Amino acid sequence: SQKIEQNSEALNIQEGKTATLTCNYTNYSPAYLQWYRQDPGRGPVFLLLIRENEKEKRKERLKVTFDTTLKQSLFHITASQPADSATYLCALDVNNAGNMLTFGGGTRLMVKP
């Protein structure tokens, strides 16, 4: 069966450290992968998109890697801040249809001052 797996356990880190979140998938060959941030009681907000032919993408303190051989994406937040505390969701276009995303269950990040 097709799966998108994110660590369901919360990740607790100290302010200033780098947070690394993992997204693993099976039985897909997605053309791209997206990361979203979701705060409690709010809708997800798009952060980054990385294509299958891109190894790495950066945006300010955020970095995403995409390894299509390992079927894995890593999401890094450097110099983390308490304001980065949220749930982070990865999403894939599992049908390569262009408009359809399937989301992972998300990983909750807690950055402590």
Q: Which of 5, 64, 53, 3 has the alpha carbon at shortest distance from 28?
A: 3
| Binding residue count for other proteins, defined by CB under 8 A | 24
Report 5-44 residues binding other proteins (CB under 8 A): 8, 31-32, 34, 41-44
- Beta strand 45-51 with 32-38 is antiparallel
Strand order across the beta sheet in which 56-59 lies:
3-6, 19-26, 72-77, 62-67, 56-59
Report 66-85 residues binding other proteins (CB under 8 A): none
Report in angstroms how near the CB of residue 96 gets to other proteins at its nearest.
9
Report in angstroms how near the CB of residue 25 gets to other proteins at its nearest.
13
Sign of CA dihedral 36, 78, 54, 2: negative
**Residue 18 or 46 having the CB closest to other proteins:** 46
Residues in contact with other proteins by the rule CB under 8 A = 4, 8, 31-32, 34, 41-46, 49, 51, 89, 97-106
